Amino acid sequence: MEEKNNMTSEMEQTEEKQQEQEVEEVFAEQADQVEEPQAEEVNPKVAELEAKLEDAENRYLRLQADFDNFRRRSRLDLEASAKYRAQSLVSDILPALDNFERALQTESDNEQTKSLQKGMEMVYQSLVVALQKEGVEAIEAVGQEFDPHRHQAVMQESDENYGPNIVVAEFQKGYMLKDRVIRPSMVKVNQ
């Protein structure tokens, strides 16, 4: 009986192996029947997708560079705005400062006028100090070489005491706010 069982089990095993082989053969046949995409069809699609991906990456990098530039420009604009915040105020005050200087140059002969002039001198000095705290400086002109960025020539003169292209006289003071010219000096230049 044992032999029968062994034989039966061997037969069953053989049948199972045959069935497995048949299944494998069927799968192999079906796999052969399934058409794989041909290389010509895959390559254009892959190439097209790669081109689209490269284009998208380039656009992304350009946008990122544009955004970085925008951020840098915004920061520089903000710094310049803070640095030169007083520019319009200084421009408005300069004519008053000029009038104070003209008034202080007048001669006074009586005590009341001298007292008034002394008060004007104090107001003028407080204005100058306040402007200096904001970074306003007068532009040196007389005796300096003419600089078209800092001086505005309104007259020329031939004076042997000065070299060529040297400022001889100043008609109106010029001012700078930090490193920016607010108003150039009106000057007479030697030829």
The answer to whether residue 187 scores a pLDDT higher than 90 is: yes
pLDDT level of residue 186 (50, 70, 90 thresholds): very high
Domain presence at residue 76: no
Q: Which residues constitute the domain of residue 161? A: 81-190
Give me the pLDDT at residue 97, please: 93
pLDDT level of residue 17 (50, 70, 90 thresholds): confident
Percent of the chain with pLDDT over 90: 47
Domain presence at residue 96: yes
* Nearest to 88, CA basis, from 172, 151, 173, 177: 177
Domain presence at residue 24: no
Of 42 and 154, the structure prediction assigns the larger pLDDT to 154
* Beta pairing partners, 170: 187
Give me the pLDDT at residue 86, please: 85
Domain presence at residue 122: yes
Domain presence at residue 13: no
Taking CA 44 as the corner, what is the angle to CA 41 and CA 48, rounded to the nearest 5 degrees? 140
Could you write out the DSSP letters of every residue in the chain?
Answer: -HHHHHHHHHHHHHHHHHHHHHHHHHHHHHHHHSPPPPHHHHHHHHHHHHHHHHHHHHHHHHHHHHHHHHHHHHHHHHHHHHHTTTHHHHHHHHHHHHHHHHHHTS---SHHHHHHHHHHHHHHHHHHHHHHHTTEEEPP-TTSBP-TTTEEEEEEE--TTS-TTBEEEEEE--EEETTEEEEPEEEEEE-
What value does the mean pLDDT take over residues 72-100?
89
Within 8 A by CB and 6+ apart from 93, the residues are 127, 131
The answer to whether residue 80 scores a pLDDT higher than 80 is: yes
Give me the pLDDT at residue 178, please: 87
Give me the pLDDT at residue 181, please: 92
Domain presence at residue 23: no
pLDDT level of residue 153 (50, 70, 90 thresholds): very high
Q: What is the pTM assigned to this prediction? A: 0.60
Domain presence at residue 186: yes
Q: What is the spatial distance between Cα 37 and Cα 56, in angstroms, rounded to a whole number?
A: 27
Number of domains forming the structure of the chain: 1
pLDDT in tens, 23-37: 677 666 665 555 555
CATH number of the domain that residue 158 is part of: 2.30.22.10
Q: Which two tokens stand for residue 183?
A: 């108003």
Cβ count within 10 A of residue 176: 17
* Mean pLDDT for the chain overall: 85
Domain presence at residue 184: yes
